[in-house]
């Protein structure tokens, strides 16, 4: 706020005259007496002028903030959630924003008919919302995801003095279920590999299964990431789908999820052979489509016959269709990553090595995901030892004689 301050003589007393523009754009003046006689007090009056001016600006800003806060606190809760999401956009990854926006949209569906203002939001309103989510069949882990978003948004409201406390803190936190991912056995994976021969996403499925890639990592693979001479490749790009201006768009990112996700892996001969054949197929398609071939994605593996990039959501849906059409057990595309981990564990690979192979940021993530598989592997080892070492064989002993004990 711009405020101009001057000294005026009024009946022999210095007055501070403040000139400013109010919130409605109207020019105003305010006179405040310093209480100082004009004669001999100009220096002190000028100091008093600065003090009065600064206090006036501070009070006006506080009043404006209170009015602004009142406006925000009076907003419907679902509107505040949308505003909060918009404020987060520049601070989070696009796929994280996409995940948040899904939650905010669902919140809007529930709260809009209730007309609950942010300042009136009570723990019971949040509790009832969680009950509605459970009644719709959502898992505790999903409800926990909603809770985390709501609590985070409301914590921001507390910091901005929009509400005195966070009502989400007084709601029973949904209990996190232990994660047990589905996965394919060795035989099931081999059956899958048989039925996908020649499929547009064959190479993507093979790479995901063998290396346990995330979908975004598999879709982000570029030919420039492969070193066919040294037989290695690097995970350093990703392709995601997100919502921009209410439309789903594909984003090409030259970053991965975290530092650990950036990794270099060995290229095995079988996968290398498939890749080179895939490259030949792409080159043939370029000759067929000629000027109609989209050259924007030349460096990407996951492209259609016409050169357009394959949408990540299409991969998940098409994978589901493949399993259904061939009578294979239903799993998610992401479960191929879990299948990779389970096969490695079954063959005695350590959790630490699996963490590095999958690109988890810390050991605890790997351990939490696959502890149940590690226990199964240990049980198999115990069974092998049990069959190998027959403890009960020849265990019957004759009772020792007294004279033997006395020796």
Lowest-confidence region among 112-126, 137-151, 317-331, 384-398: 384-398
Residue 291 tokens read as 């000027």
- Give all strands (DSSP E) within 99-244, no chain letters: 226-227, 232-235, 238-244
Residue/partner pairs of 40-47 with CB below 8 Å, 24 or more apart: 41/14, 42/7, 42/14, 45/7, 45/14, 46/7
Residue 30 tokens read as 């305010």
pLDDT attached to residue 67: 46
Contact 82, 108 (CB under 8 A): yes
Same domain flag for 123 and 202 = no
CATH of the domain at 257: 1.10.443.10
Contact 190, 145 (CB under 8 A): no
Q: Does a structural domain hold residue 176?
A: no
Task: Give first-to-last CA distance, the chain, whole Å.
Answer: 104
pLDDT attached to residue 99: 78
Backbone phi and psi for residue 330, each to the nearest 5 degrees, phi listed first: -75, 125
Containing 289, the helix (H) or strand (E) segment is helix 269-289
Same domain flag for 156 and 202 = no
Same domain flag for 123 and 49 = no
Alpha-carbon distance 308 to 21, whole Å? 56
Least Cα distance to 208 among 348, 306, 318, 93 occurs for: 318
Same domain flag for 224 and 96 = no
Same domain flag for 278 and 296 = yes
Which of 118, 143, 170 delimits the end of a domain?
170
Q: Does a structural domain hold residue 356?
A: yes
Which of 73, 88, 110 delimits the end of a domain?
73
pLDDT attached to residue 403: 56
- CA angle in degrees (0–180, nearest 5) for 162-102-165: 20
User: pLDDT digits over 32-42, tens only?
Assistant: 999 899 988 89
User: pLDDT digits over 26-83, tens only?
Assistant: 788 889 999 899 988 898 999 999 989 888 877 776 555 544 556 788 889 999 999 8
β-strand partners of 21: 27
3-class SS at 72?
helix
Alpha-carbon distance 118 to 191, whole Å? 54
Number of domains in the chain: 3
User: pLDDT digits over 350-403, tens only?
Assistant: 888 888 888 877 766 666 666 555 555 555 555 655 566 665 655 455 555 555
Number of residues that this document lists for the chain: 407
Same domain flag for 228 and 375 = yes
Same domain flag for 250 and 130 = no
Alpha-carbon distance 246 to 231, whole Å? 42
Going across the sheet that includes 13-21, the strands are: 3-10, 13-21, 27-37
Can you tell me the mean pLDDT for 288-298?
A: 95
Domain extent at residue 295: 186-384
């Amino acid at each position: 706020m711009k405020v101009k301050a001057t000294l005026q003589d009024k009946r022999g007393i210095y007055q501070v005259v403040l000139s400013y523009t109010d919130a409605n754009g109207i020019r105003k003046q305010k006179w405040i007496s310093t209480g100082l006689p004009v004669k001999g007090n100009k220096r002190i009056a000028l100091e008093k002028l600065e003090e009065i001016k600064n206090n006036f600006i501070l009070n006006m800003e506080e009043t404006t903030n209170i009015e602004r806060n009142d406006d925000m606190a009076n907003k419907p809760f679902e509107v505040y959630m949308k505003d909060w999401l918009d404020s987060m956009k520049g601070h989070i990854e696009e796929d994280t924003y996409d995940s948040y926006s899904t939650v905010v949209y669902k919140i809007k569906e529930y709260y809009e008919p209730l007309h609950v203002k942010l300042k009136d939001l009570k723990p019971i309103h949040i509790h009832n919302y969680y009950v509605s989510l459970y009644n719709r069949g959502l898992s505790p882990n999903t409800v926990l995801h909603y809770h985390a978003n709501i609590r985070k948004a409301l914590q921001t409201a507390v910091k901005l003095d929009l509400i005195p406390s966070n009502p989400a803190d007084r709601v029973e936190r949904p209990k996190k279920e232990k994660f047990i991912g589905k996965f394919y056995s060795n035989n099931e994976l081999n059956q899958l590999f048989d039925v996908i021969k020649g499929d547009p996403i064959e190479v993507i499925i093979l790479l995901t299964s063998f290396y346990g890639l995330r979908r975004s990592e598999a879709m982000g693979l570029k030919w420039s990431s492969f070193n066919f001479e040294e037989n290695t490749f690097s995970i350093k790009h990703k392709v995601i789908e997100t919502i921009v201006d209410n439309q789903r768009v594909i984003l090409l990112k030259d970053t991965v999820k975290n530092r650990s996700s950036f990794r270099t892996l060995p290229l095995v001969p079988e996968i290398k052979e498939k890749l080179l054949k895939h490259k030949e197929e792409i080159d043939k398609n370029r000759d067929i489509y000629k000027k109609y071939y989209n050259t924007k994605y030349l460096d990407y593996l996951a492209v259609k016959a016409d050169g357009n990039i394959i949408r990540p959501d299409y991969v998940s849906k098409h994978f589901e269709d493949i399993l259904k059409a061939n009578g294979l057990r239903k799993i998610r595309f992401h479960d191929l990553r879990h299948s990779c981990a389970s096969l490695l564990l079954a063959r005695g690979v350590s959790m630490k090595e699996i963490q590095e192979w999958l690109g988890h940021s810390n050991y605890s993530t790997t351990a939490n995901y696959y502890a149940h598989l590690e226990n199964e592997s240990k049980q198999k080892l115990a069974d092998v030892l049990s069959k190998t070492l027959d403890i009960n064989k020849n265990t019957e002993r004759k009772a020792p004689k007294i004279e033997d004990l006395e020796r």
